[in-house]
Amino acid sequence: MEASVEQLVYVREDEYTVARMSADGMPDFVATGRALAGVQPGETLRVLGDWSRHARYGQRFAVAECERVTPSSVRAIRIYLGSGLIRGIGPRLAYAIVDHFGEATLKVIDAEPERLTEVVNIGPLRQAQIVQAWQDQKAIAALMVTLQGLGVSPLLAAKIYQVFGQDADEILATDPYRLIGQVRGIAFRIADKIALQSGVPERSPQRVKAALLDRLEAAGSRDGHCYVPLAALVRETAELIEQDQDLIRPMVDALVAERRVVVEMAPDQPGQVVAYAKHVHSREVALTEQLTRLVRARSTLPLRVFRDDPGLHEDQRAAVNMALTSTVSVLTGGPGCGKSHTVKAIATTVRAAGGTVTLTAPTGKAAKRLSELTGLPAMTVHRMLAHQPDPDPETLFEETPAQADLIVVDEASMLDLHLATRLVSAVPTGSHLLLIGDSDQLPSIGPGDVLADLLRVMAIPRVQLTHVFRQAGGSGIIDAAHRIKAGRMPVTPGRGGFWFEEVDDPEQVARRVAHLAMVAIPRKQGVEPDQVQVLCPMRKGETGATALGRLIQDQLNPAADDKAEHWAGASVFRVGDRVMPIRNNYDKGVFNGETGTITAVVREERMVDVRTDDGESVRYAFDELDDLTHAYAISVHRSQGSEYPFVVAPIVAESGGIMLRRKLLYTLVTRAKAWVVLVGQREALELAVHRLGHRRHTGLSRRLSLSLEPA
């Protein structure tokens, strides 16, 4: 039968979709199945399937096959145009257009679009907008059919079209490997599936090169490595494409000749040959050169003598002297050791002498926290570099804008290789750079381990704060953090702040975490649920951030007839949702880690309005929603640089507990200010405490040590 999609009810990660549909001459009904993947409200479908009765949900239509068709009846056309699928047309304008043109409406839009101006409130500008949106929607629908024929999710069609536009079909047919890295959600396996279906030979150089580059990129994005041992790269590539290793090595040489890969002896492992992606190698070399420039520079700081402050501990005074006398230095320490108070003393001393200071951090929340703790203004690294375009690594960052006499970077463990290179290249010769961080926290999401690498370079001055101050020493959170850092199990103290609740079954863990976050802690502490943050070691699984976030969203902000919403893949964004950007957007002025609330879903404009916690209003187009994620439950990595009054987290050994390790647990616990509650399996907690994790493959420390050796 033919029916119109009225509403998406539910979409699972595996694309199983539940939709409410309507057809002429029959009551609305519920349709289900993976064949519905990617459908949108307003579309008319020709569906084939079977009626069945679900014990809980009643009669449903299980869809086996689904085909998009052009709506033909006045009612179906009105639903289609009023759904927001065509940007610029809302329900009211849809009625006006259909009332004027009747069943010929879509033919007019397609073949005689100039006639749209016959309708009241449609002028030349809106007419052009509607025509463009109509053409885009037709192209995306055709692309969805193409992808389904290739055995690939149709949900990717809009993303591919957004990047490649009218060239999308040609890219799919001739060079699908171009999709990798340019279209979010498409890695080698999907592009390779398209390529093989399109007739690309299994042993083609094009395929082997794409697989090699994919393995290099995956090593950086998944494990944070800057390089991969060449033997391992060849082996993993051969396994990925199921070919002999003899086929792989010549393609490595070809990529080297094309300047896309660098092969050299490992900087930190003598005798081992390794491979870098060219852009990663360029940045590692550039960061080495820029740090060497700063270390060897003659200081231009107005004051380099510190007047003793009796209010500082001995190691804090050492840190102040270091920052004032060294052009590059590192300050580390755990929670409660007075890093922020030390920063305030350093900044105050420099300013009193007439110098300028910039306090900065990788995320907005970290910068705001630094400002609150020191009483001094702070900004994000991205805002400091906002007027500095990401430079070409081949130019070695010739432009160096004037900044402050002293630049302080807090939460430096979050700096990946790319951001660190941009930051260091912007520091003027003679200015001082002080990096502050906790080396026991998780390293950056991106490739590199900059803070840890600098701590391995003996020529870089460093001070570690170890004294825990009395007011912090009574905190159960800080006690738990220091026990975890020492490889000991945290204990539930009588004084509060840290609590472990043992629950074995993952499903019960998920329910308990959700209940604590939504009901128990808000009720007991007299706070709103948005003061409680759920942090998850994993993204997938019953206790992962995706499943827990949806569970909490359904309870705190359920669907309602008077509440606008929009489904993007398996995520539904509705008014009132808590969200956070997952990538920096300089044009919008939002940065990774900030949080906000959806205030409007404007279907006719295909836009979502977000009000950030700082009071800024930001607009996201529907095709930009990949840049947003829900903030009800987030990964521990995404929480870096932030603090929350209350934290609740599941600790279970799902999927072997591959993410459970000491630095992750330590980072998780130190995100809480008042209370942190862990719920889960004792053996999983023990695993996290004792597992150290891998060391990232980076060459920065060795390159920098060699560069700074005395002549």
Binding-site sequence positions for ATP: 336-340
Residue 579 and residue 628: Cα distance in Å, rounded? 7
Residue 116 and residue 104: Cα distance in Å, rounded? 12
Contacts with 471 (C-beta within 8 Å, 6 or more apart), sequence order? none
Phi/psi at 542 (nearest 5 deg)?
Answer: -60, -35
Amino acid at 539: R
SS3 content of the chain, % helix, strand, coil (to 5): 45, 20, 35
Residue 502 and residue 680: Cα distance in Å, rounded? 5
The helix/strand/coil state of 407 is strand
Q: Residue 61: beta bridge partners?
A: 31, 51
Report the binding-site residues. 336-340
Residue 142 and residue 59: Cα distance in Å, rounded? 32
Neighbours of 278 (CB within 10 A): 18
The helix/strand/coil state of 648 is strand
Q: Give the rounded distance of the alpha carbon of 699 from its chain centre.
A: 25
The number of helices, as runs of H, and strands, as runs of E, in the chain is 25, 26
The two tokens of residue 506 are: 């993952």
Q: Are 314 and 448 in contact (CB under 8 A)?
A: no
Q: Are 453 and 701 in contact (CB under 8 A)?
A: yes
Residue 427 and residue 407: Cα distance in Å, rounded? 8
Residue 593 and residue 26: Cα distance in Å, rounded? 48
H helix or E strand, kind and range, residue 26? strand 26-33
- Listing DSSP states for 599-635 in one string gives EEEETTTTEEEEEETTS-EEEEEGGGGGGEEESSEEE
